């Protein structure tokens, strides 16, 4: 789980701490970590209920095919943005390394480096259908980022301790317009929801608990808590432990990087913390080199599921329906778990997508040099949709389904009792209305009855109705959070600095 979370976003955390303050950044990271941890649990719970093996498959089964296609499209855009971020980091790092090595200005030019990487390195690596040996890079990518971040944190703390007053220029809380830029960046940093469903399905039916001192082993022990997660199986209890432990570890690592980076450069810290350090710092140069090597392998690994998601979008519906439902490790975030997403898609279409993807991301990275801007845009729009909006819809849908079935069951029970009573008397009495206490004493009118009957089978697919349940309220809260974060992102993008 932590492997799916830690990535390029860690380099922008000192920038987020500068925008919100030392304590403010800690609070923001903690709140976002808790909310995103809850939504990961929501996805796991519904993955078990709908027996889904991927996020897209879960959305298709619970919310319909149209939303699953929209999710695939959003994930493709998100991965395109992530590859742009990778190229920006590579451009910054390799430019610094080339300048420190004394290479000619033509070679050390950032635009030349980014263009060469995109056309001569990334494109050949992305064209093969299968990545083979590169898949192993996914296992060590998180280690590379953490090693690089540890070096940066160590050097940052050394710089901070050289000042007579460690807290000089450091603010504990910062709440102004610039603080809005930090929210989507932190949201992006804790995102790993595209892989949560697949990770849950890989767990054993009764996994060992990672936090035995905190979590009860039996699901029944959770039922006495009204406002906390109440897993229905041992597998969900185990997944809750995985989410809590991995989120806590990532939060700790992010806090260390954010605090040390902000303390090192309290006056101004770049959205890529590596840029703030001197080019001739040997330890930071090693960190730059380590992270660059990891990104060289991470770019094609990110492109591959993006291409699979595109194939899912353009694949004929018949081929999509006939796809085998068995998860593929590299394409799980985007597909309905098809082993071969290219079925029914021309190879020329796939090659065309790869060309457009690599050339497009290279062109954007040539123009956009601000890593924070890219993560800000991704976190506020694409990632917010994935981690807040869709889990909110899943909760609302479940609440509507359960409420409609409960009410209609009571209605049918009263109708049966009324019919039996009428049969034992002089016949049915005309003009009698059914009254339902669960509807606050209101008469159950025909339009409302029709809505409930439709909702019992289709849920939210046929419209939003109020269901007096905690899951409905939490779902609405997630939708509101999603809209607010997206609104903040669009506002800051339009208005600028």
- Kindly list the structural domains of the chain, giving each domain's residue range(s) and its CATH number in brackets, ordered by start: 2-383 (1.20.1740), 398-478 (no CATH)
Find all residues with CB under 8 Å of 13, minimum gap 6, and list them.
Answer: 25, 29, 185, 186, 189, 254, 257, 258, 261, 273
Please check the confidence at residue 434 and state whether its pLDDT lies above 50. Answer: no
- List, in sequence order, every residue forming a beta bridge with 435; answer none if it has no partner: 443
Task: State mean pLDDT over 423-431.
Answer: 55
How much is the pTM? Answer: 0.81
Helices 22-50 + 182-189 axis angle, to 10: 50
Res 480: pLDDT: 95
> Is pLDDT larger for residue 379 or for residue 312?
379
Task: State mean pLDDT over 6-29.
Answer: 88
Under the phi-then-psi rule, with left for phi > 0, alpha for psi from -120 to 50, and beta for the rest, what region is 436? beta
Please check the confidence at residue 274 and state whether its pLDDT lies above 80. Answer: yes
* Cβ count within 10 A of residue 321: 10
Chain position carrying tokens 């910054």: 92
Under 8 Å between Cβ of 309 and 174:
no
Interval 83-119: pLDDT, tens: 999 999 999 989 988 888 888 888 889 999 999 999 9
Average pLDDT of the chain, as a whole number:
80
User: Residue 180 carries which DSSP code?
Assistant: G
Residue 435 — φ and ψ, nearest 5°? -115, 135
Task: State mean pLDDT over 267-285.
Answer: 87
Can you read off the two tokens belonging to residue 461?
Answer: 């697919």
SS3 435: strand
DSSP 3-state helix, strand, coil percentages of the chain (rounded to 5)? 75, 0, 25
Res 140: pLDDT: 64
Sign of torsion, CA 372 354 73 305?
Answer: negative
pLDDT band at 318 (very low <50, low <70, confident <90, very high): very low
Task: State mean pLDDT over 404-424.
Answer: 64
DSSP code per residue over 437-487? GGGTT-B--HHHHHHHHHHHHHGGGG------SHHHHHHHHHHHHHHHHHH
Q: List the single range of 14-23, 234-243, 350-359 with lowest mean pLDDT.
A: 234-243
Interval 446-482: pLDDT, tens: 566 666 666 667 777 777 777 778 888 999 999 999 9
Q: State in Å, rounded, how far the first CA of the chain is from the last one.
A: 34
Res 453: pLDDT: 66
Please check the confidence at residue 52 and state whether its pLDDT lies above 50. Answer: yes
Task: State mean pLDDT over 188-202.
Answer: 84
pLDDT band at 483 (very low <50, low <70, confident <90, very high): very high
* Cβ count within 10 A of residue 99: 16
Please check the confidence at residue 445 and state whether its pLDDT lies above 60. Answer: no
Chain position carrying tokens 């920006």: 88
Interval 331-340: pLDDT, tens: 333 333 344 5
Under 8 Å between Cβ of 434 and 444:
yes
How far apart are the C-alpha atoms of 249 and 99, rounded to whole Å? 36
Sign of torsion, CA 344 348 351 355?
Answer: negative
Find all residues with CB under 8 Å of 102, minimum gap 6, and list them.
Answer: none
Res 418: pLDDT: 57
Under 8 Å between Cβ of 160 and 263:
yes
Task: State mean pLDDT over 286-299.
Answer: 84
How far apart are the C-alpha atoms of 266 and 18, rounded to whole Å? 7
Can you read off the two tokens belonging to residue 199?
Answer: 């990770």
């Amino acid at each position: 789980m932590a492997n799916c979370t830690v990535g390029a976003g860690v380099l922008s955390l000192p920038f987020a701490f500068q925008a919100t303050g030392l304590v403010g950044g800690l609070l923001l990271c903690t709140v976002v970590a808790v909310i995103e941890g809850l939504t990961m649990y929501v996805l796991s719970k519904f993955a078990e209920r709908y027996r889904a093996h991927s996020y897209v498959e879960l959305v298709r089964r619970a919310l319909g095919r149209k939303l699953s296609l929209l999710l695939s499209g959003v994930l493709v855009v998100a991965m395109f943005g992530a590859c742009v971020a990778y190229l920006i980091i590579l451009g910054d790092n390799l430019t610094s390394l080339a300048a420190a090595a004394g290479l000619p200005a033509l070679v050390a030019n950032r635009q030349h480096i980014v263009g060469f990487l995109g056309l001569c390195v990334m494109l050949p690596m992305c064209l093969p259908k299968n990545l083979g040996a590169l898949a192993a890079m996914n296992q060590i990518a998180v280690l590379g980022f953490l090693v690089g971040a540890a070096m940066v944190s160590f050097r940052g703390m050394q710089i901070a301790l050289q000042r007579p007053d460690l807290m000089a220029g450091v603010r504990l809380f910062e709440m102004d317009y610039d603080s809005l830029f930090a929210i989507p960046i932190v949201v992006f940093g804790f995102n790993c929801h595209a892989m949560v469903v697949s990770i849950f399905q890989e767990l054993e039916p009764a996994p060992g608990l990672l936090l035995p001192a905190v979590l009860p082993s039996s699901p029944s022990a959770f039922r006495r808590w009204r406002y906390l997660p109440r897993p229905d199986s041992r597998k969900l209890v185990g997944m809750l432990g995985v989410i809590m432990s991995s989120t806590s570890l990532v939060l700790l690592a992010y806090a260390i990087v954010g605090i040390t980076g902000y303390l090192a450069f309290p006056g101004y810290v770049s959205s890529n913390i590596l840029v703030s350090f001197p080019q001739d710092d040997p330890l930071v140069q090693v960190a730059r080199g380590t992270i660059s090597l990891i990104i060289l392998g991470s770019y094609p690994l990110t492109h591959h599921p993006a291409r699979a998601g595109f194939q899912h979008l353009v694949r004929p519906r018949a081929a999509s329906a006939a796809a085998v439902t068995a998860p593929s490790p590299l394409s799980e975030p985007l597909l309905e778990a098809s082993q071969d997403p290219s079925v029914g898609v021309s190879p020329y279409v796939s090659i065309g997508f790869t060309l457009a993807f690599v050339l497009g991301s290279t062109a954007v990275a040539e123009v956009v040099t601000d890593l924070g801007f890219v993560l800000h845009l991704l976190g506020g729009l694409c990632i917010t949709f994935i981690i807040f909006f869709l889990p909110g819809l899943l909760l609302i849908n479940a609440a509507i389904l359960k409420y409609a079935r409960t009410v209609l069951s009571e209605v049918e029970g009263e109708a049966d009792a009324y019919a039996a009573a009428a049969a034992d008397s002089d016949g049915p009495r005309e003009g009698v209305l059914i009254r339902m206490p669960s509807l606050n004493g209101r008469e159950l009118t025909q339009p409302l009855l029709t809505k409930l009957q439709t909702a019992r089978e289709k849920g939210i697919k046929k419209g939003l109705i109020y269901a007096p349940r905690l899951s409905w309220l939490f779902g609405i809260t997630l939708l509101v959070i999603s809209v607010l974060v997206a609104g903040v992102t669009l506002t800051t993008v339009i208005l600028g600095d």
